[in-house]
């Protein structure tokens, strides 16, 4: 689900500092020029919603408008809970005569914003094919909790001394207590907003933005975590959905154990794919070596305290989780291979840990504070057996996966989860287009297949190749299918796509 992490790596891997900054997805405190475009007929505003407060974008961009919308902290008690600010950026359709409507999007995470992508022309042109920029007002929203909007403020969520893969009930209790303490830090640093960050609440914020813009309906592109937000919006506001694209689909009907086991198997597959790419690529620094054996050597060195980064010894768990993050995109293959080599041969974990989401701890703190309100909680007492089962499904990284990170990181979180697992509950008028990669390590193909079966009006485009989600860098064929669907509401003629030959990995 952390497409932002995968793409942050892509920025460092292939080029420009500006592109790297884009893919880190920082949310700058900005907004837009109250320019042109006549508004569509107004739709009724949700109780508690207000109009957009327009301000200049920062940096200035004559092609975008930026602003914010005030929303209630607690939508169930809007007048008594105080308010939060939700930052938005609107890039009006370039071809006004052929304008379709509004396209909102969420790039994944959670904890990543979308306003900067819409506000900056170069970033928007990287993310969106020209047909979408021509035909839609592209609307980027920084969800509540994300800088740019009213942010959540938490302590560092990662303590290397606390095992994320408990082997005993005592270790599981310690992890649960650490998670509970982190949750308390968010509430202390943020106030009541920290308890109101789940996707249903964010969906209500999105509808407040829709109403403030005067739009009767929206089209929506959700990537990874954004597919969870899409489900929440479509279930609450089905009549306001014109079109939905779900890329890197999360199946929210599944219990924690199934999510973890599916994730571990997907990572095992992704690691085998990485090893094969390395073996076939002359520039790969691990070419000719047994990648599995190298990772076991890395584990052994780390467990002896012989791998260091940032002035301290890093644990084997930290390194395995960094490898998992590096598998999100083949565009990071060169960095991943070099990081493994450095850890094994030199005891230097700097390059490898730079791939980890934990390195940007404030971003990861937001990720955890949000996602833990949106997944069913595993009991601390169940973590030991679940860790063992995940290790059998994904033996090379001993069960490391994004879903393990989520489930283990949310055990002990106070209060019940706001989400009860269920399949989509939407009328037949909601007909999403789903995009799914064959070897997605974060959102496995079987999740998309399951969601597709539960939505009779949906279309599933299956693309071959590697990488977490097609958008915006892993499969242009799948993206083209989405463009056609969004602009014309026409399902693609073909529902299969070959691997994108422009996406290569394993080089230095």
Q: What pLDDT sits at residue 59?
A: 87
3-state helix, strand, coil in the chain (%, to 5): 45, 15, 40
Q: Strand pairing of 308-309 and 312-313?
A: antiparallel
Alpha helices (runs of H) in 111-224, residue ranges in sequence order: 115-119, 121-127, 130-135, 169-190, 199-212
Q: What pLDDT sits at residue 159?
A: 87
The H or E element that residue 409 is part of is: helix 402-410
Helix (H, G, I), strand (E, B) or coil at 234: helix
Q: What is the pLDDT of residues 47-86, one digit of tens each?
A: 555 689 999 998 899 899 999 999 999 999 998 889 999 9
Task: Name the phi and psi angles at 132, rounded to 5.
Answer: -75, -40
* All residues at 6 or more sequence positions from 113 whose CB lies less than 8 Å from its CB, including other chains: 25, 26, 27, 87, 140, 141, 142, 143, 146, 147, 148, 149
Q: Dihedral through CA 288, CA 292, CA 293, CA 297, nearest 10? A: 120
The distance of Cα 99 from the centroid of its chain, to the nearest Å, equals 29
**Closest listed residue to residue 336, CA positions, set 317, 316, 356:** 356
Q: Dihedral through CA 155, CA 159, CA 165, CA 171, nearest 10? A: -100
Q: What pLDDT sits at residue 125?
A: 96
Strand partners, 221: 105, 245
Helix (H, G, I), strand (E, B) or coil at 217: coil
Q: What pLDDT sits at residue 467?
A: 96
Interatomic CA distance for residues 466 and 504, integer angstroms? 9
Q: What pLDDT sits at residue 501?
A: 86
Q: What pLDDT sits at residue 508?
A: 56
Q: What pLDDT sits at residue 50?
A: 65
For the chain, report the end-to-end CA distance as a whole number of angstroms. Answer: 26
508 residues of the chain, pLDDT tens digit each? 544 444 443 333 333 233 333 333 222 222 232 233 333 333 344 555 568 999 999 889 989 999 999 999 999 999 888 999 999 999 999 999 999 999 999 999 999 999 999 999 999 999 999 999 999 999 999 999 999 999 999 998 888 889 999 999 999 999 999 999 999 999 999 999 999 999 999 999 999 999 999 999 999 999 999 999 999 999 999 999 999 999 999 999 999 999 999 999 999 999 999 999 999 999 999 999 999 999 999 999 999 999 999 899 999 999 999 999 999 999 999 999 999 999 999 999 999 999 998 878 889 999 999 999 998 888 888 999 999 999 999 999 999 999 999 999 999 999 888 889 999 999 999 999 999 999 999 999 999 999 999 999 999 999 999 999 999 999 999 999 999 999 999 999 899 999 998 887 777 5
pTM over 0.85: yes
CA-based angle 272:275:281, to the nearest 5? 140
* Distance (Å) of CA 147 to CA 26, 70, 142: 8, 15, 8
């Amino acid at each position: 689900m952390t497409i932002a992490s995968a793409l942050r790596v892509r920025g460092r891997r292939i080029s420009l500092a500006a592109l790297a900054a884009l893919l880190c997805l920082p949310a700058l405190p900005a907004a837009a020029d109250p320019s042109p475009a006549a508004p569509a007929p107004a739709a009724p505003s949700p109780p508690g919603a207000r109009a957009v407060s327009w301000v200049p974008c920062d940096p200035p961009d004559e092609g975008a408008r930026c602003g914010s919308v005030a929303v209630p902290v607690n939508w169930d008690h809007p007048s008594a809970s105080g308010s939060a600010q939700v930052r938005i950026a609107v890039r009006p359709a370039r071809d006004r005569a052929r304008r379709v409507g509004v396209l909102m999007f969420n790039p994944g995470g959670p904890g990543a914003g979308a306003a900067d992508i819409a506000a900056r022309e170069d970033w928007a042109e990287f993310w969106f094919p020209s047909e979408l920029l021509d035909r839609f007002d592209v609307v980027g929203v920084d969800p509540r909790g994300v800088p740019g909007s009213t942010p959540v403020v938490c302590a560092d969520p990662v303590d290397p001394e606390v095992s994320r893969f408990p082997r005993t009930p005592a270790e599981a209790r310690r992890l649960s207590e650490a998670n509970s303490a982190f949750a308390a830090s968010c509430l202390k640093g943020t106030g009541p907003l920290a308890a109101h960050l789940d996707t249903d609440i964010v969906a209500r914020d999105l509808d407040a933005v829709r109403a403030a813009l005067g739009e009767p309906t929206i089209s929506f592109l959700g990537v990874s975590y954004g597919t969870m937000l899409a489900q929440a919006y479509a279930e609450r506001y089905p009549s306001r959905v014109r079109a939905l694209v779900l890329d890197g689909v999360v199946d929210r009907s599944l219990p924690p154990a199934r999510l973890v086991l599916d994730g571990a198997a997907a990572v095992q597959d992704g690691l085998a794919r990485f090893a094969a790419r390395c073996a076939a690529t002359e520039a790969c620094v691990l070419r000719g070596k047994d990648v599995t054996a190298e990772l076991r050597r890395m584990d052994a060195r780390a467990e002896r305290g012989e791998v260091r980064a940032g002035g301290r010894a890093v644990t084997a768990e930290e390194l395995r989780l960094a490898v998992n993050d590096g598998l999100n995109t083949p565009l990071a293959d060169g960095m991943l291979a070099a990081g493994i080599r450095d850890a094994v041969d030199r005891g230097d974990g700097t390059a490898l840990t730079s791939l980890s989401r934990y390195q940007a701890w404030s971003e990861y703190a937001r990720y955890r504070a949000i996602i833990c309100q949106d997944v069913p909680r595993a009991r601390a007492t169940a973590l030991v057996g679940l860790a063992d089962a995940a290790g059998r499904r994904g033996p090379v990284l001993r069960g490391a996966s994004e879903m393990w990170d989520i489930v283990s990181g949310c055990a002990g979180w106070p209060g019940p989860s706001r989400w009860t697992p269920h399949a989509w509950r939407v009328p037949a008028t909601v007909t999403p287009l789903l995009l799914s990669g064959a070897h997605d390590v974060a959102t496995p193909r079987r999740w998309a297949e399951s969601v597709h079966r539960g939505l009779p009006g949906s279309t599933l485009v299956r693309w071959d190749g590697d990488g977490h989600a097609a958008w915006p860098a892993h499969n242009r064929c799948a993206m083209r299918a989405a463009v056609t669907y969004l602009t014309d509401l026409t399902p693609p003629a073909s529902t299969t796509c070959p691997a994108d030959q422009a996406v290569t990995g394993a080089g230095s």
